[in-house]
Structures are given as C-alpha cells and as structure tokens.
Structure 1
C-alpha cells in the first residue's frame, strides 16, 4: 500500500473514532482525525474550569465511568491499564430514596467493575489520537464530504471552505455527520449527504436522542454525610444521579468535585422552551440553580459549593441502536463506515465495539488494494 491510497479520514474523536483510528494505524493505514472540538473525547471529555479565586478544577462531565463484558473490549481495556491510561474505580454506589431519606440498594464491591480514564476520561482518546500513523486535527470541523467518482476518492471540505484533502476511505463516528437534527441546530444540511451512499440510506433513520444537563460542583470540604461516591435518585423528576468525580483514581484531592446529571424528562422540558440551539448563560444559570436545589432537597446536609456550572448535552445520548449485528454501517464500494454507540448500544462499550468493527472493514479492503 502506498501512502496516498491508504489515507483514511476519521471524523470525530470520541471513543469510537479514536479506537477506529488507532486500529487502522496499527494495520499500516495512514489516518487523519478531524474534530471541531478543542480536544478529543466527545462524551468522554474532561472539562477544565477556573473558580473565582483561581483554583483549577476538572470534571468528567459526560460519561462518569464505563464497564465491559465483551472479551475483545476487555483485552483493549487491560492494555490501556498496563499503559496507565485506565484504572478501576473501586467505590460503592447506591440509590437514594427521597421519601425515607435513606440510601438503599448498595452495590457490592466487585460486582461490576467501573473503569475510568486517568487522569481524566479523555486520556484514552487523547493517547489513541497520538499513536504513530494518526494525525489529529482539532478545531477543524468538516462541512462537506464529496465522492469523486472519476478518482474513486473522497474529498473533504472544512466548515470555513478549506480543502481538507482527498481520502481513500472515510469513517463518520459522529452521528451529526448524517443526522438531520443538525439542521435544526445550525441551519445547515448534514455534512454527509446520504444520497452518496444509497445502500446505507434506508438503514440510517433519524436517530432519536436523549438530552441531559450536567451540573459541575466543587466544595471546600467533603460531603461527609453521603456514604457513597455515586448514587441514583429514586423517582426524582429533576436529577437522575450524582457522583463524586474527585474520588476517582488520579484526581486532585484539593477540592471535592461532584457532577450531577438531570433526568431526560427535565432536559426535554427545558429544551422545549428554549430550543435546540446553544443555551444562553441565563438558561444555564437557571438550570444550575434548579439541579442544585434538587440535590439539596435530599436533606443530606449539602454545603454551598464555591463553584457551580451547568452544561447541556444536546444529542450525546442515543435512544436507539441501528446496527447491533453488523456493529457499524458499511458501504464497501465507497469505503464509507458509519460507527458509534448509536450502532451497537448507547454506552462506551458499544462505541468501542463499533469503532473496532469499522476499522476491521476498512483494513480488510484497503489491504487488498
């Protein structure tokens, strides 16, 4: 394979795209990763913030942890553990019953291993996007993909009209590449016109998504009245769960940091009033106050945080799986793979499996050219 015909573009640097890119590179394929964000991770991003007094804070404000049962995924995880990218989060979780004001259903230690990236959830994606053979371009959004029939290549154009290059294959690991929902947010058509891949068009419905608000909190003193480091809230219409982010391996112990996630119903209600576009500061402030008020209403003697900020995940959580058996969508003729958690299952393990499947499809065909 020569360096020109083996170039593959991976759009999106979440765990599916990062796993796919690294697997392709290990098989001799030259990969360029494009992501409009400032860094890798997607829902596995780590948010860095500064408090008013200049304290540096970090929050895993998306996926709090992940688990796995698939043997291939576990092999990957164990490799990441050996590299110091992943550690087991050995804390008990439970459920809080607001009626009895008690914690119930404590998880038994070791029942389900929880893995986290070290020192942040995005550490895994960052390392994979830096492996030999992978070139990563952050802050570069893809505005359009075109299939050049005469050249049998893909042409990518940036959001600013910049020519991003020609590629032998493309991996779309961000569902916004093809989802009409992006039109409601940006007013523009999705970058990938599915008419270019008619074999896949019928297999790719408008994927339903669940929205969620995350609240990042930092406290000067530990919340000692809470006996677990993560818990769900029974029958709450506002909060689904809360976890102590700073209790994870490799995190700073300077402050106690918590992340709360709203219920899907609460997020849906806010979005129905404010729309899909980026929420205003006033909206996020109101959401932060309402989520924290619900946290305090547990009666768990929760002190006032010195830092509080809300974030909206508008379409990060897919509510459907569209390719459980195949694990990715694949157009062999045009060497186009579509992968992500929305293909297999709406969690980190599902995204990893989908990224691995996409890499396998492309490797198989490119190695024969």
Structure 2
C-alpha cells in the first residue's frame, strides 16, 4: 500500500501513527464525549492542547499543498495518511484537516482575493478560527442546487443576504467566525449563472444560528450542524468570491476534492471496524464456542475485508487521477468513490455493530457514531442518486 510514498510522506506517516497511538486513541472517549450543557459549543481544552502538539510534530494542514503552510503531499500520498487519522472521528480536527474547513481553505486559496486570504485563509490555516459552508436549504430540494432561494442582492457598496440554510456544519461552534454562503444574485441570468458565493462573518447583524441539528441523535458538539437564518444581513461588496454569477463554478471546485477527503477518512473507519470485529470475535464465547469459530461471523469478516479493499482502491484511484489529470478530469472517479465508499464503510461498520451486540450501540465503542457519520454522507455533499445519474449520462454518451 505504501510502496509509492515518498521518503517525505513516509516520515510523516510514521509520526502520524505514533501521534495517534500516543495522543488520540487514549483520549478518544473524552474528545468525543458530549460536553456539559453550558459548554457544548465552546472549544475543548484537551482538543486545543492536542492541536498544538500536532502542529509542533509537523502534522498540520496535511491536505494543503498551495504554499509553505502545507505539507507538500500529493493527493495519492495524502489519501494514505488521511486513512490513518480517519480511523478516529476525534482526529481530523487535531490536524486541522476537518470538514468543512478543508474545503473552505481550498476554496479561499483557489478563488479568494488577497484581502480575503489575509483576513480568513491565514487564521484558518493557523487553526485560530473555524468556518462553515452554507449551501443546503430546508425549503427546497437542494440536491438540485439551482433550486436555492437565498438572495444575495447588490445595494450600493454592499450585498444584502436573506434566506435560511441548514446542515451548516461547524456553525454552532464558538470558534466558527465566517460562513461561505451560496445564494441567488441574479434570477434572470442563465440557470447556472444565477448563483454567487459570499463571505459572511458570523457576528454580522441579522445572522442567527437557529438551532443545532442531530444525526441519529448525535449533536457532534462542539462542532455540529445547524440551521442558520439570514435576515437583511449586510456585508461589503469586497466579500463576494470571484464575482457575481460564479457560485456553481466555485462549488464544483470546492466539492470535488472535499468528497474524496471524506472517502479517505471512511476507509480508515472501516479498517478499524474490521479490526474491532476480529478482537470481539476472539474474545467472546456463546453456545459452546468462540464467535470466531462460527461460520456466520467468519463470513461477515471475510465479506468486510473484501469491501474495505474495494473502498480503498477506488479512493486511491480517484486520488491518483486527481494528481495526474486534475480535479475536473477526475470528477467521474471522485463520484464513484463518493457513491461506493460511504455505503461500503457503512455496511462494514453495521456488521461490526451487530457482532458487538448491545455494546456496539453504545458510546463504549466508536462504532455507533461512525455508522451515523457514514450514513450522513450518502446524503451530504450531494446524494448518491445525483452522482449515479451524472455517471450514467457519461456512460451512455461513451457507448453511443
């Protein structure tokens, strides 16, 4: 698996494995435990301390390759490292590689003005703040982003935003300081030129975090997802990203790489689930034999190994295609990974839950929350059905 890692990437991998063993796994339960009610959205001292340690260890912004702030890894190399820290839901934040900040930092690096980079990208890269991405809306079928109704209207030297968003990941956090908002700036323009993206500081008057949203009952504090209301929210015209009508262009540039990053992490979760299944099967006995001696359990483990390998290979292929041909040319491979990996990882984790019995449903193991996360992504970043439809169009055109 690691045969094509450069010496630079291999050294980072070794430090990353050591950091996970020394700092992440021993503290995982505390890092993921629901915080006290009055501290739900506040930064956790333990997480902040481990972030500082990760930065000192050179395990910071591993995804980023736009400048000296990053580790200079290819997508293929990063995929293999991302799998390692993806084994724990607590880990990505510690390395400043958490969604949606990864996508937002990539977006600002690619499309932001120098002023926007100085104001928002630099503190994000430093881990001083967090950000959110507001695209999906509760009132429309947002799987078709042309349905989005939030208005971004020019008013002199400002833009005024009105609308309601939800599934805004990271918005409840006290560390979240800026939202990237997609909305309609010109309803009369061609279908894919009506939308724009704009930067909105979270403390702007009229912006209200209405409520946190749960995924299968998990609030995921202190980050979480939220419903956010924008009522006459006024920001300077210089906050517009790239220019009016270029929201879809930006969205495609942002969402493609973000989808593959999720897949990289989910391979790690699925691999860890197989390991957990094997440990449980060897350690538990029922009806006169260990679970590991039961044919049905062995079938489940064998099938899970096949599915983890499939998930890993489609992810690595997509990452390799991104390196060789660019993100746009790799979009079909990214779509395949986005469809395949969450479903396969979810199936593996579900078997692991079953094998663990009641314990698998509890907070005593990572499995229940991991299952919720993989199930979420079959809808998040565009539902699977949309990606299948796009792939089908490509195949039909190819076979003419």
Range into which the TM-score falls when normalised by the shorter chain: under 0.3
Give the structure with the larger helix fraction: 2
Which structure dedicates a bigger proportion of its chain to strand? 1
More relative contact order in 1 or in 2 (CA 8 Å, sep 6+)? 1
